[in-house]
Amino acid sequence: MVRIYLQVAGLLAVMLLVSPFVIYAADFGRDGLRGRLDAPHYLFSANIPANTGMFSHMLLGALITLLVPLQLIRPLRQRLPGVHRWTGRLITLAAAITALGGLAYIALRGTIGGAAMDAGFTLYGALMLLAAVQTYRHARARRIDKHKAWALRLFWLVLGSWLYRVQYGLWYVATDGLWSTPEFTGGFDLVQNFAFYLPYLIGVEIYLRRFSSRETRANLRA
Ligand code: HEM
């Protein structure tokens, strides 16, 4: 019981912590889609499909970042399964569009950091798209263990964009921006291209394998 309270409190705390980034991304996305940014920005250009991909990915990305912790709250899943299902449909669809929007932007304009950042973010987008499709597919087929494993991967991938900023923030506070350049070509920048999602996904895989025998299987089924 205490464990469930702690889990719920943790997930609500995550929602609170991500909210400044959610507001920032949603405002940025909305203003970009309207073509009404406060000041000129390199992400906004005359390329309308690229703008649509970039700013819609921000708006929908903000939505899924806010909503995804809700899906892991067990009492909510148990008491309001209908809400879990509809929020799940919304999140998986919005996550797929977020990923496709980011991928379209990379294909049309490329990132500020060049090839290495393109590679890191392309893999990120592809994994998010895969996780969204698999989470939905397994839920539809009632393969609950698999659905929950993919949902956990999707959760960490969605939080990745926020973690990217958190990791930069902490690094700048600790080192004053060592190995980081405005062009995102420093050693830290290169590692960061993958470090905001890959270590967390590895953690999920270890978690799923290590506890898959009993406890997590029970958790995953709950
Ligand atoms: C999870 C939800 C996501 C949110 C809330 C989000 C939000 C944002 C925001 C606010 C920016 C503007 C840069 C900044 O202000 O720091 C941005 C940039 C970007 N995002 Fe996302 N994003 C998300 C997911 C993704 C995914 C899945 C991809 C994968 C393709 C992606 C690719 C990009 C790219 C390529 C840029 C521009 C990089 C550059 O500066 O050149 N994002 N994102």
Q: Whose CA is nearest to atom 23 of ligand 1?
A: 61
Identify the segments of the chain with pLDDT beneath 50.
none
Domain that holds residue 129: 2-221
Determine the pLDDT at residue 213: 55
* Ligand 1 centroid from CA 115, angstroms: 16
Number of domains in the chain: 1
121 Cβ closer than 6 Å to some ligand 1 atom: yes
* Ligand 1 centroid from CA 126, angstroms: 13
161 Cβ closer than 6 Å to some ligand 1 atom: yes
Determine the pLDDT at residue 98: 98
Determine the pLDDT at residue 1: 81
pTM: 0.95
Torsion of CA 124, 130, 133, 134, to 10 degrees: -120
